[in-house]
Structure 1
Amino acid sequence: MPVIVQDYKWEQTDSAVFVSVPLKGMSASQVDVFSTDEYLKVRFPPFLFEAFLFAPVEDDKSTATIKKGEMLFTLQKRSKEMWSHLTVKHGMSDKETLKDLRLRAIQAAQEKAVARSKAKAEKVQEEKKYTLDTMMKLEDEERATIQKMKAGERNRAAAELEAWKMQQSAREEEEAGRRRKQAKESERMTEEQRSRKPGLPSLPKSSQTTRAVQQEKRADLPAPRSSGAIKIHFTPRVFPTALRESRVPEEEEWLKKQAEIRRGGVCADLHEFEDLSEEERNPDWLKEKGDKLFVAGNYQAAINVYDLALRLNGKIPALYSNRAACHLKMRNLHKAIEDSSKALELLTPPVADNAGARMKAHVRRGTAFCELELYVEGLQDYQAALKIDPGNSALQADTQKIRATIQGGSETSKT
């Protein structure tokens, strides 16, 4: 059962009613207000204030505010008059009558909400229609502008074409006049030749000599050379760097080491591995299996697989580097440092082909040093990795953190 609030206050003028309802220490988020022209309810469990107003008010013009622990209502009267009471409930005890009044208030509020929603929908529809009309008007104006521009372009193109035709006609007339003039000149010269003695005139002696020299020169020239294609073969290089930037001896030494590793295992006695299958005797296959176990989070099983691969071939740097990553996950920090160092020892000489592997080994050893709080040694490894890949933003951030830790420790020790 709700607790009915009785200690409310109200005042009035001929045009407004002022009601103050104490909130009993409740916050604004706990207060629920419902109002119509004839009904007012404030609910903040377990308290309830309910008023069936003495006369109708203008609910749309009324206001409600919360100030200093009170709910203040300003209700605008529909007609200017003084009320004898705030509510019609005063002196009434008929529950059915009160229930009918409450239902009528709720129904009126629902009808008002429906009307408001309908009005809002009509307003939205009108705004959409206005927007659509405006867009259509703008599109019409834009279309008219485009048509006007097209008409202007057509007129300009037609004028240019007409001017070009006139120029062509003038040129053709000029050319025709020139040809007529040449024909007349030729006809005149023909008439003059006819008036002379019969027979063709001979060429001047100098012209005959020049023509004979040109014919002799053409006879001495060799025949045109037949076409063909020259094939050029380039020696392929293993390393991506240009030859002028490469350290050829170091690259050749690295290739030789890789070839020695791939020629076969370095294990002295393989009798202990007779029970293994052909795949299980392949260090590359074991490395892939160990990598999958590492990704799955089974670090101890991955270490066991890397151990077997190293017993078969102990000169593969990736096996030591990947086993170091497993030891890091299992907090075997000294073993991680040992395996990373062995990987770096095998990744010599430093060339472009093993740059990525060297960077990973430096980062793993540096991480292990930092976990052991050997920050200076860790910083050296991170700086070496950053020298290999200067543009790596993650490496830059980690290096800066380690440097800040060292500087912070130095300042603490000085204090």
Structure 2
Amino acid sequence: MPTDSAVFISVPLKGTSANKVDVLSTNEYLKVHFPPYLFEAFLFAPVEDDRSSATIKKGEILFTLQKRNKEMWPHLTVQNADKETLKDLRLRAIQVAHEKAVARSKAKAEKVQEEKKYTRDKTMKLQDEERVKIQLMKAGERNMAAAELESWTIQQRATKKEEGSQRKQAKESERMTEKQGSRKPELPSLPKSSQTTRAAQHGLQNCSRKEKQADVPAPRSSGTIKIHFTPRVFPTALRESRVPEEEEWLKKQAAIRCGGIRTDLHEFEDLSEEERNPDLLKEKGEKYFVAGNYQAAINAYDLALRLNEKIPALYSNRAACHLKLRNLHKAIEDSSKALELLTPPVADNAGARMKAHVSRGTAFCELELYDEGLQDYQAALKIDPDNNALQADTQKIRATIQGSSKT
């Protein structure tokens, strides 16, 4: 049923399924191939291929071809054309169809690339926003920690100044009291008639003083007291004891406490004695850690380590803070430094060594370095073999390694 603007062509499929039909359509040529049948039409006039459509229904395929020029066609196909002309039309149609297919493929590839680029740009933008957000959060925590440290410093200075003022007042009061006590009160002069009574009273006082001196016992005679020290007993045999290692560890700790604090840097000149105490800073860091302010705790440990970089607990505690903030490489570095300082290995530092091994092992596992993490957990389990939590965690890591090797 043709019109002046469109042509409608219905091609029966003769029981052939739609997925076996091959259709080729251009502005001058139409082909429907479904073996063993072939429908081919060299159109009488050009059509708008981009606006035309083909609908496959049950048992037929319906073409709606939009004419390029509005006119009635006397025939559907070209009449009285020789074979060479039809062959040229067919080859030209195939070439046009191929070019359209290449263009569609290229457009599709460009669209995919644009979508990938959009996705990549969107992802990078989100990552940049997240990075800026994290940096702002860290800067806020640093500023808050610095403000708290500055407030604490001012409070310590005020406390020290107040204590100094109180001590000065106490010394001044004591000095005035001593000065007043050193003055002898002037006795009023007695009349001559009372001089005899005064002499009598003086004599009675001397007698009383002599009687009191007679009641005081004589000093004890000098002598010598012998002291016997109990020998130290170890639970293991003498050949298995670690007496030299323990003595070395004790000497090492004494040397750290006595001469390890740095006071030669210019930045420490304005700090009070309390502010130069690494132990006090360590306690502040532990309080910050319990409160969940891990960045403030790291700042306190940083200052303590600048004062004394030989205290293992400062590195171990800072490693725990880095674990909470997901600074895994820094946690591994601090745990390793703590283990270097916790030498020689003795019973006194066993707990600290176990804590450092667990922190480093956890950081390795978070980085998916399970073999290294297993080594640290096994070292911690060797220190405390009866620890049920360590046994369970070690077994989980071992199972993860075995599962990875199977896959």
User: If the length of structure 1 is used for normalisation, what is the TM-score?
Assistant: 0.43
> Highest relative contact order (Cα 8 Å, sep 6+), 1 or 2?
2
